[in-house]
């Protein structure tokens, strides 16, 4: 064997060994979901089904829409999500259709989906990943988990770093304003508002607002209309799906005309889908709320 041949073979063997080790790292990995289940992957999934709108938004935000073969009737953002095959409405699903779509993995949520759905996928032998993003930290965890699952972890980390930067900036800026109280109204019949242990409460905290339901142990407590009068918020944030004004609410509870928020025209209507989905648009929602509170600030 010549010296040149020996050198060539040595380099080839070294290159092959390194390539093989790299492939093993890429093709054999585990990710722990929010139930603590460790899920193994031999390679990134190619066919995806999402059973909640926030998960669908994450998939598109990571530029993985081409891999989405099924979602729910509530998955309407971005616009492309509306054209994906619908497999159910978050509570009831066409499992026969799901099996036909041959997903490599199905992503579900704790709050949006049911235990029966979870168990059914186990019976069918379909790989599932359970997400439970109850706060901004949870949203980031799910997003980073998806990045790892699909081999784009660095991309996900860069996006999360940008989110953190903006949240820190808004939180710092909010300290320049007097503290005010707020009610994030989820529904009017009965009166249901966002409690402290929710990602929605973080919108308020980042923007320097004190939640009038901060003392409730419930995620979404129901208050009497009289209790709202007693707590008398400075601001009311009401997520709606249409161009409503507060007159529609006053038709239900006319005595609320005495609230500080109403007297001072501090009733803010926001997009329901944007503000009630724990997904990649969390920071966008915070920015919109901050601008509504402080319209003169750029």
pLDDT tens for residues 6-26? 333 343 334 444 444 333 345
Beta strands in the chain (DSSP E): 29-32, 38-41, 48-50, 68-70, 105-109, 128-131, 180-187, 192-193, 209-211, 235-240, 267-271
Q: Above 70 in pLDDT, residue 243?
A: no
Q: Give the separation between CA 229 and CA 226, rounded to whole angstroms.
A: 5
β-strands 105-109, 128-131 pairing: parallel
Q: Above 80 in pLDDT, residue 188?
A: yes
Q: Above 80 in pLDDT, residue 231?
A: yes
Q: Give the separation between CA 126 and CA 174, rounded to whole angstroms.
A: 46
Domains of the chain, by residue range, sit at 25-151, 176-293
- Contacts with 74 (C-beta within 8 Å, 6 or more apart), sequence order: 52, 53, 89, 90
Quote the pLDDT of residue 168.
97
Which neighbouring-strand residues pair with 269?
A: 238
Using a pLDDT cut of 90, give the percent of the chain over it: 77
Cis peptide upstream of residue 233 (ω within 30 degrees of 0)? no
* 266 and 236 Cβ atoms separated by less than 8 Å: yes
Q: Above 50 in pLDDT, residue 88?
A: yes
Q: Write out the two tokens for 125.
A: 């032998």
Domain 25-151: what homologous superfamily?
Nitrogenase molybdenum iron protein domain (3.40.50.1980)
Q: Give the separation between CA 138 and CA 160, rounded to whole angstroms.
A: 12
Q: Above 50 in pLDDT, residue 233?
A: yes
Residue 217: φ, ψ to 5°: -80, -10
Buried b / exposed e along 129-157 (16+ C-beta atoms within 10 A): bbbbbbbbeebbbbbbbbbbbbebeeebe
Q: Above 50 in pLDDT, residue 100?
A: yes
Same fold, 25-151 and 176-293: yes
Q: Average per-residue pLDDT in the chain?
A: 89
Quote the pLDDT of residue 122.
87
Q: Give the separation between CA 76 and CA 11, rounded to whole angstroms.
A: 52
Instruction: Considering the domain delimited by 176-293, tell me its CATH architecture.
Output: 3-Layer(aba) Sandwich (3.40)
Q: Write out the two tokens for 291.
A: 């601008």
pTM over 0.75: yes
């Amino acid at each position: 064997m010549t010296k040149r041949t020996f050198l060539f073979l040595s380099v080839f063997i070294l290159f092959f060994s390194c390539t093989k080790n790299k492939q093993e790292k890429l093709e054999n990995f585990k990710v722990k979901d929010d139930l603590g289940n460790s899920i193994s992957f031999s390679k990134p999934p190619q066919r995806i089904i999402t059973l909640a709108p926030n998960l669908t938004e994450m998939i598109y935000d990571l530029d993985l829409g081409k891999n989405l073969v099924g979602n729910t009737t509530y998955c309407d953002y971005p616009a492309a999500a509306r054209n994906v095959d619908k497999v159910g409405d978050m509570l009831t699903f066409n499992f026969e259709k799901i099996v036909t779509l041959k997903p490599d993995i199905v992503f579900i949520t704790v709050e949006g989906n049911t235990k029966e759905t979870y168990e059914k996928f186990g019976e069918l032998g379909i790989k599932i990943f359970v997400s439970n993003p109850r706060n901004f930290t949870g949203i980031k965890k799910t997003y980073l988990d998806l990045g790892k699952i699909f081999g784009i972890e660095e991309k996900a980390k860069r996006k999360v770093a940008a989110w953190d930067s903006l949240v820190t900036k808004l939180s710092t800026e909010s300290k320049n304003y007097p503290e005010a109280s707020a009610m994030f109204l989820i529904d009017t019949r009965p009166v249901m508002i966002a409690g402290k242990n929710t990602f929605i409460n973080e919108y308020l905290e980042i923007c320097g607002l004190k939640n009038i339901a901060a003392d409730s142990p419930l995620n979404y407590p129901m208050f009497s209309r009289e209790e709202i009068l007693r707590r008398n918020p400075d601001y009311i944030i009401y997520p709606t799906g249409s161009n409503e004004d507060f007159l529609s609410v006053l038709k239900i509870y006319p005595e609320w005309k005495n609230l500080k928020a109403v007297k001072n025209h501090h009733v803010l209507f926001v997009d329901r889908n944007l503000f009630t989905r724990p997904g990649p648009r969390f920071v966008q929602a915070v920015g919109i709320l901050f601008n509504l509170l402080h319209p003169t600030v750029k």
